[in-house]
């Protein structure tokens, strides 16, 4: 019998399914901590790398732009994308572990972990009386017959939930990243544009205004009058679904901690909020706002403020080393910016565009 590669792969996949089912069946948690870490860190990192390598810098780059500039932008976007993910994940993990060890809240499944010695319960009674109901008694940890000290100690680390926090830190960050790169945001009205609420503003005439016609003939003050409803449009729903998938996965991981009896509801909600705050802060620390940033990350720090800016300086962008960076976002290019004297090396950019400093089109 001749075995084709396709047939071999199909049976190999059957074995993978069986092994995966066996592993899941012998693990107590629906989503083990290792799996949660992979889903919250490794998978987002891989997706971020793929999105950056494929979609950055996008279709706004002129065709004759040198390839070194494109790859510098790709590498910078990849760097800050992964740096923000790491900041979100590591900061959340650090604070959660500290709080777990500090507070020591019992898990809902603490009794099953403890395996209490009911026959000698009175020996470990530290509060209450023998005649009191069981609800009014307090026993020492010595009543536990659990021989695995690590499993028993883990029973006192319920608050906050580690699964919930790291899933939010990684997957909510990925949601924000995808929303920025895919331009999935609530439509908004750009500033600096005249607009009207009429159905057809170009056919409307403002009574009492005698300057409109003269303004339209003045190229320096030319401003397009548009209907307010034409300032934006909703993104395709399939992109919205792609953006929501990581968030939905984070919600599922959180829910699994509830029906696995590993955490109380407050443990889960608080941890999820911790991870969400860390994800949002980490994303905004390195990226422009989703609605108005066009998917770009902030530029690098300048050389003179690489490690310190000091009092009196606004931010970490100074004058020194301004022309050495090839990662800054493109300057706004409107019809008023394109003058014959503003071209450099025929690349279609303004002379003050820092990305082109020292780059020759003949390279």
Q: What per-residue confidence (pLDDT) applies to 194?
A: 60
Interval 97-114: pLDDT, tens: 999 889 988 888 888 888
DSSP per-residue letters across 243-274 = HHHHHHHHHHHHHHHHHTTSS-HHHHHHHHHH
Pairing state between β 195-196 and 138-139? unpaired
Which of 8-17, 70-79, 84-93, 196-205 shows the lowest mean pLDDT across its residues?
196-205
Per-residue pLDDT band at 207 (split at 50, 70, 90): very low
Mind listing the pLDDT tens digit for each residue in 255-279? 999 988 888 889 999 999 999 999 9
Structural domain spans, the chain: 29-105+158-186+235-298, 110-154, 187-203+214-233, 300-305+317-331+341-363
Q: How far is CA 339 from its chain centroid? A: 40
Percent of the chain with pLDDT over 70: 70
Give the Cα separation of 207 and 201 in Å (integer).
Answer: 13
> Global pTM?
0.73
Beta carbons of 114 and 143 less than 8 angstroms apart:
yes
CA dihedral 183, 189, 195, 200 (to 10 degrees): 50
pLDDT tens column, 331-360:
443 444 434 334 333 333 333 343 433 333
């Amino acid at each position: 019998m001749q075995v084709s590669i396709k047939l071999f792969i199909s049976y190999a996949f059957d074995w993978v399914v069986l092994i995966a089912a066996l592993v899941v069946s012998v693990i107590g948690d629906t989503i083990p901590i290792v799996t949660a870490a992979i889903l919250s860190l490794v998978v987002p990192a891989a997706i971020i790398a793929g999105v950056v390598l494929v979609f950055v810098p996008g279709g706004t780059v002129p065709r004759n732009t040198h390839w070194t500039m494109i790859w510098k932008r790709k590498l910078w976007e990849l760097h800050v994308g992964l740096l923000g993910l790491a900041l979100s994940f590591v900061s959340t993990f650090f604070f959660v572990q500290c709080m777990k060890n500090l507070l020591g809240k019992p898990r809902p499944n603490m009794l099953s972990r403890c395996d209490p010695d009911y026959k000698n319960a009175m020996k470990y009674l530290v509060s209450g009386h023998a005649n009191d109901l069981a609800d009014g008694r307090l026993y020492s940890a010595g009543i536990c017959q659990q021989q695995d000290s690590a499993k028993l100690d883990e029973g006192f680390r319920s608050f906050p939930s580690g699964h919930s926090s790291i899933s939010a830190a990684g997957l909510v960050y990925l949601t924000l990243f995808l929303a920025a790169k895919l331009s999935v945001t609530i439509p908004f009205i750009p500033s600096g544009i005249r607009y009207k609420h009429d159905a057809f503003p170009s056919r409307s005439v403002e009574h009492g205004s005698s300057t409109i016609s003269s303004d339209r003939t003045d190229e320096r003050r030319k401003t397009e009058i548009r209907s307010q409803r034409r300032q934006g449009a909703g993104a395709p729903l399939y992109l919205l679904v792609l953006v929501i998938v990581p968030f939905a996965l984070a919600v599922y991981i959180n829910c699994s901690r509830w029906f696995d009896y590993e955490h109380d509801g407050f443990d889960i909600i608080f941890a999820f909020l911790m991870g969400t705050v860390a994800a949002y802060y980490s994303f905004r620390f390195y990226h422009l706002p989703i609605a108005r940033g066009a998917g770009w990350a902030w530029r690098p720090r300048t050389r003179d403020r690489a490690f310190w800016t000091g009092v009196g300086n606004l931010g970490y962008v100074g004058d020194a080393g301004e022309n050495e960076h090839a990662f800054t976002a493109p300057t706004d290019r409107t019809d008023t910016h394109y003058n014959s004297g503003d071209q450099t090396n025929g690349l279609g950019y303004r002379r003050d565009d820092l990305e082109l400093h020292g780059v020759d089109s003949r390279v």
